[in-house]
Chain A
């Protein structure tokens, strides 16, 4: 850098330095060569001929603006120093610019591309004239005609309540239910939607709320929890909303109402859960009873089948079978017990206690349960 001031290099130095990009003006190098001024120059300003160039000094800026104040482009007269850029041949650019602006204005405000889900309302000086269907529509330019394009068939969804907070609604049996739901709607008649209601979107929400509360109030709490009851409420709300909105001539079609959740209020949720637990308890009791019943029946069947089989044998040879069974049983029983045979009459018996004690100490023999066959 040659100068003390980093911005202050004059034109000759600037050409070889980094400042060349700033200094290369549109006016070409021919004027630049003659533009060597003594003082420091502002490198951010394009260098031009001396008369058109703005100096860095504030006084000079105002001096150049002239007494009329801020310069208006194309304004009548104009400041003495300002001159419109000229076309080759010395003609003014002004007509071209004006033509361009007019064409742009016509194109922007009289050709409208309406997307498939949209419609457009055309108003002539504020008065409704027609509705633009999807496609390309031509109108008179603004300010004669104005077009407002709106999404028509797109389904709009409102969730009520908007946040996740608890919204308690009174049911017909004066209980409270925490309920949230969705409304899906769209516009069926754009001009009514546009001109009939002051605030259609809010109206939809308010009507939904009124309809929902009225419908829930017709139901008991248990019905709001059941699937069928919910479906009925949804349908009631939808028809009710549609009737009200039609009465307003709102041009709105309610496509559906969906109850997202019906919960008992948080304050009494425990009691509601206990009902579910009780239902399960009851089911459990019944299941256990069924099991026991099955057991009883199976046992009865087993025993009777066994009896029937033996009886079959018995019938063929009653006396023999009877005696056989008797002896077999006695054998089993008496072989496992202590036996004492006492002559009847005049014999004192006593309980052989030491004997019993001795037996208790020896390990008991393997169980030989022999159920009679």
Chain B
């Protein structure tokens, strides 16, 4: 070992020096990063800058040369980045309050400008957040509470995105999408009144259902009565005279028969009674 060191001292040192110089003059840009080459404080060029519709593998990523020491490389994320707006209370045009959670997706399309203005992607986020906030308030404040929730939201989001995008270009960013993640009623009175409304609505529904049930029951009973009347009429109508007699017989039976819960009957007959006809004249 000592021999190798002694004999090739110079060449070994040269190899090391070459490695150091090489590592200083080469920069590896991964696929998901863009790089801004800064020469003495001034951005001179970009590496692997985002271009739409560029397939992976055909980008500028990979091993790139730079002037050692003189040039510095600043990495900027090339991917779609997210920005979250924390819950904000938004007032609708009909003076209803709503808590809104939104997010935006953006991408740095001009890394040089971003480096010059915001510095880092976090810087971009910090710059854009208040803008998103105010744009969102402005846009949603023009809508009624009901519209805020539903159909018009699509158009609202496009407007918000466009407005935010205009501002974001200043920082070299492109806003891809803005979405409302959550819309909630604020705790306290708005939430309670919503609950009250829901409760009374259900109570009304329950009452309606019960009333409908009763109505249906009554209709069913009436129909049965009508049907029974028809059946009786069909049958008894064949001979009303006989029906009168027959039914009278049944009625006497029921009325005068001795039975549970029935009063005592005393019948006072006249000898002229038809029943006693034979009794009377013994014909």
Binding site for B on A (CB under 8 A): 76-78, 123-130, 168, 170, 172, 174-176, 191-192, 194-199, 202-203, 206-207, 209-210, 213-214, 217-218, 221, 244, 247-248, 250, 264-265, 267-268, 270-272, 274-275, 277-279, 281-286, 288-290, 292-294, 296-297, 299-301, 303-305, 307-308, 310-311, 314, 318, 322, 325-327, 329-330, 332-334, 336-344, 349, 352, 356, 359-360, 364-365, 367-372
Residues of A within 8 A of B33 (CB): 126
With A126-B28, A248-B105, A289-B221 known to touch, is A282 a contact of B212 (CB < 8 Å)? yes
**Do B275 and A330 have beta carbons less than 8 Å apart?**
yes
Contact of B199 among A271, A297, A352, A356 (CB under 8 A): A271
From A127, A265, A282, residue with most partner B Cβ within 10 Å: A127
Considering the chains assembled together, what is the distance between the CA atoms of A169 and B179 in angstroms?
16
B residues 79-128 near A (Cβ < 8 Å) are 79-82, 103, 105
- Closest beta carbon of chain B to A88's beta carbon, Å: 20
Residues of A within 8 A of B154 (CB): 214
**Do A195 and B79 have beta carbons less than 8 Å apart?**
yes
Give the number of residue pairs across the A-B interface with Cβ within 8 Å. 303
**Do A284 and B213 have beta carbons less than 8 Å apart?**
yes
B residues 42-65 near A (Cβ < 8 Å) are 56-57, 59, 61-63
**Do A292 and B257 have beta carbons less than 8 Å apart?**
no
Closest 4 CB pairs of A and B: A282-B213, A293-B224, A289-B217, A126-B30
With A126-B31, A340-B267, A368-B259 known to touch, is A268 a contact of B249 (CB < 8 Å)? no
Can you list 26 A-B contacts with CB-CB less than 8 angstroms, sorted by A residue number? A76-B1, A76-B2, A125-B63, A126-B28, A127-B61, A168-B184, A196-B79, A198-B79, A206-B103, A268-B199, A274-B206, A275-B202, A284-B213, A289-B218, A289-B221, A292-B221, A293-B220, A296-B225, A296-B228, A301-B231, A311-B239, A330-B275, A333-B256, A338-B265, A344-B270, A371-B254
From B31, B62, B197, B225, residue with most partner A Cβ within 10 Å: B31
**Do A128 and B213 have beta carbons less than 8 Å apart?**
no
- Closest beta carbon of chain B to A322's beta carbon, Å: 6
**Do A369 and B259 have beta carbons less than 8 Å apart?**
yes
Considering the chains assembled together, what is the distance between the CA atoms of A270 and B105 in angstroms?
42
**Do B268 and A271 have beta carbons less than 8 Å apart?**
no
Contact of B257 among A199, A265, A336 (CB under 8 A): A336
**A-binding segment of B129-137, B145-153, B164-172:** B145-153
